């Protein structure tokens, strides 16, 4: 397969760095963006001119356009755009300061919007390209106490990507949403702020905070994840969503089963809202559910 060019956000650590290395090891070229691109100096020494470190704050759309243009100018084209940059702070929705909630959303959703919409014109001109959006298993099943802004953003990324796939798929652009469970990155490390939790949230958000060092949060290997993603993106069989990690698979399948069971139990009630259907109908009782 011909050499491909990757544009990866949040490349200085975690998934972004692992994926950057995996793409370089596969013989590809990478524009690796980070808020502090000097953190990529060791990769520049190792891989030379096949890596282009770029400074990028994904909340700045103009900067995203500039970085993508610089990548195209350096390498001639962009084959894969990866929206990996993101972070989470842990706190109840009620007590999270609004500016913190918005800042998280600005990075985790608007950053994806900025880079995706800046990349689409380039990929359209080429008539081909792949956009990879990093979500999380929480972006599918939700409900993790303390992660209101983060998971809301991940749900929004999924919704945005489904629409983009419908709109631009006929133009040659493919999309992949990645949904990991716990990996050995610093997602729950120094970059995560965890303020004191109010007593009434001790059993929910507090329990989540106390469990951040459990093995489930570090079960996945970022190196393997990077290698898997490179193989998947290079294959002709690209799924719309890719779960990564045992917990991600188990949680997704359990969630799907419960959703199907609930929709079946309430199907008659749901259908009765249409004028052509019998109305009113009995609500399902506890035994039926």
* Residues forming the active site: 135, 150, 154
Q: Are 150 and 85 in contact (CB under 8 A)?
A: no
- Beta pairing partners, 179: 243
């Amino acid at each position: 397969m011909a050499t491909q060019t990757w544009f990866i956000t949040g490349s200085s650590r975690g998934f972004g760095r692992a994926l950057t290395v995996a793409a370089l090891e596969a013989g590809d070229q990478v524009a690796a963006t980070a808020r502090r691109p000097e953190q990529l100096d060791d990769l520049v020494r190792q891989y030379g001119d096949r890596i282009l470190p770029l400074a990028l704050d994904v909340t700045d759309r103009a900067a995203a356009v500039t970085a993508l243009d610089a990548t195209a100018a350096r390498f001639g084209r962009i084959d894969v755009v990866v929206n990996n940059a993101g972070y989470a702070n842990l706190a109840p929705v009620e007590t999270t300061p609004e500016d913190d909630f918005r800042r998280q959303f600005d990075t985790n959703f608007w950053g994806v919007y900025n880079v995706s919409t800046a990349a689409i014109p380039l990929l359209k001109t080429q008539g081909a390209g792949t956009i990879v959006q990093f979500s999380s298993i929480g972006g599918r099943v939700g409900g993790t106490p303390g992660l209101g802004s983060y998971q809301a953003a991940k749900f929004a990324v999924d919704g945005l990507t489904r629409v983009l796939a419908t709109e631009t798929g006929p133009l040659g652009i493919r999309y992949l949403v990645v949904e990991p469970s716990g990996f050995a990155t610093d997602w729950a490390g120094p970059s995560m702020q965890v303020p004191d939790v109010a007593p009434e949230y001790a059993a929910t958000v507090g329990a989540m905070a106390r469990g951040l060092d459990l093995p489930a949060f570090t079960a996945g290997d970022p190196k393997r994840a990077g290698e898997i993603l490179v193989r998947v993106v290079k294959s002709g069989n690209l799924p719309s969503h890719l779960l990564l990690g045992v917990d991600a698979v188990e949680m997704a399948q359990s969630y799907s089963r419960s959703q199907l069971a609930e929709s079946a139990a309430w199907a008659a009630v749901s259908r009765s809202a249409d004028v052509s259907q019998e109305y009113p109908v009995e609500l399902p009782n506890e035994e039926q559910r």
